[in-house]
């Protein structure tokens, strides 16, 4: 009979996610993972496979915990500027967490990794690009924006702004400064239509 695992797989995966997020794929060695997770190489390979397979599991974990929260901010019924503002808020909070790695795991990988297997890099690229689609979906839920021809361009603009904020967070820029930059970006959208009080009947 196989011996039972002597470690918590979920905790180990969270630890690996933090390590890859902080150091990047290339700078994280198998020995780094063994030391951080507190398990031997046999247990690591037997549970997660090689480094690339573990990183694939990490991407899945990150998508569920971090990207899931970001996409939730853009989901219905949120629309227009308020949806984008909520997305910026979650993004900045996750990118500037006080006890953990800063920035975005996806962007950190995309901008600083050349040795990860191509399928993994393709997955990262697809994840980054999908942000534009979600932003566009949120923007067109706003009746004042749905008919505009440049909604796709606006979505790309906000995606680029969000990605830039994550990179700045990685560089140590303070949360308050990032929030101020996000508010400036939101000024490209028209203010919400004023709600007029109903006219009296008499």
pLDDT for position 110: 80
pLDDT at 6: 66
> Which of the following CATH numbers is that of domain 51-186: 3.40.50.2300, 3.40.50.300, 1.10.357.10, 3.90.420.10?
1.10.357.10
**pTM given for the model:** 0.82
* Averaged pLDDT, 172-190: 94
pLDDT at 63: 83
pLDDT, one tens digit per residue, over 79-97 is 999 999 999 999 999 999 8
Q: Is the pLDDT of residue 136 over 50?
A: yes
The C-alpha angle with vertex 39 and arms to 122 and 99, in degrees rounded to 5, equals 65
**78 or 111, greater pLDDT:** 78
Paired tokens of 191: 């203010």
Contact assessment for residue 32 and residue 19, using Cβ atoms and an 8 Å cutoff: yes
CA 81 – CA 84 distance, rounded (Å) = 5
Work out the average pLDDT over 32-53.
91
- Confidence class for position 2, pLDDT limits 50, 70, 90: very low
Average pLDDT, the chain: 86
Average pLDDT over residues 15-31: 90
């Amino acid at each position: 009979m196989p011996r039972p695992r002597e470690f918590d797989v979920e905790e180990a995966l969270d630890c690996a996610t933090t390590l890859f997020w902080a150091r990047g794929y290339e700078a994280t060695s198998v020995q780094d993972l063994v030391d951080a997770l507190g398990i031997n190489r046999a247990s690591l390979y037997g549970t997660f496979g090689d480094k690339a397979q573990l990183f694939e599991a990490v991407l899945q974990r990150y998508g569920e915990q971090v990207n899931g929260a970001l996409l939730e901010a853009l989901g219905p019924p949120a629309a227009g500027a308020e949806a984008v503002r909520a997305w910026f808020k979650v993004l900045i909070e996750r990118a500037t967490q006080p006890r953990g790695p800063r920035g975005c795991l996806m962007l950190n990988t995309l901008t600083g990794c050349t040795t990860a297997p191509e399928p993994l890099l393709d997955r990262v690229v697809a994840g980054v690009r999908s942000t534009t689609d979600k932003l566009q979906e949120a923007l067109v839920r706003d009746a004042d924006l749905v008919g505009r021809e440049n909604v796709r361009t606006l979505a790309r603009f906000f995606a680029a702004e969000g990605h830039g904020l994550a990179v700045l967070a990685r560089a140590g820029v303070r949360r308050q400064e990032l929030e101020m930059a996000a508010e400036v970006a939101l000024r490209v959208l028209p203010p919400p239509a004023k709600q007029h009080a109903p006219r009296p009947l008499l």
